[in-house]
Amino acid sequence: MIDATPILTETGGTLTTDGTAQTVYINNAPDGVYRPLTAIIDFANSTAAEAITVRLLYRITPGGPLTVMDELDFDGVISPPLIEIALSPTRYGIQIVLERTAGAALDYDWEVFYEATP
């Protein structure tokens, strides 16, 4: 029996870098198996001076830590500016982190698609 049909959902916003590791998106404690699909980050504001690291973290055991699964550097001007990150299902948590390691505080638009109930 299926209690609820998953709904394709989207959220997003703008992150202003401050030089620390900042959360772009997180579901720290899904209510069950959870299916994030894709994340898109817009690097249009990056100049030759910016160095940005994006990390993708998952928690794969109950109570365990969010652990880095992938880490990507985006230095300088990024062309084309939209970066897509494919996401995997999770039961215990997912986090996308963005960190500016060089350059100025700039705005980065982002959005994430996922399937969720209720």
User: Considering beta carbons, is residue 22 or 45 the nearer one to other proteins?
Assistant: 22
Q: Are 89 and 33 in contact (CB under 8 A)?
A: yes
User: Considering beta carbons, is residue 49 or 105 the nearer one to other proteins?
Assistant: 105
User: Considering beta carbons, is residue 18 or 31 the nearer one to other proteins?
Assistant: 31
Per-residue binder mask for other proteins (CB under 8 A), 29-58, x = binder: xxxx--------------------------
Q: Are 115 and 11 in contact (CB under 8 A)?
A: no
Q: How many residues does the chain have?
A: 118
Single out the segment in contact with other proteins by CB under 8 A; choices: 6-14, 43-51, 80-88, 100-108. Answer: 6-14
User: Considering beta carbons, is residue 93 or 103 the nearer one to other proteins?
Assistant: 93
Q: Are 73 and 13 in contact (CB under 8 A)?
A: no
Separation of alpha carbons 41 and 53, rounded Å: 12
Separation of alpha carbons 94 and 115, rounded Å: 14
Give the footprint of other proteins on this chain (CB under 8 A): 3-14, 23, 25-32, 93, 115-116, 118
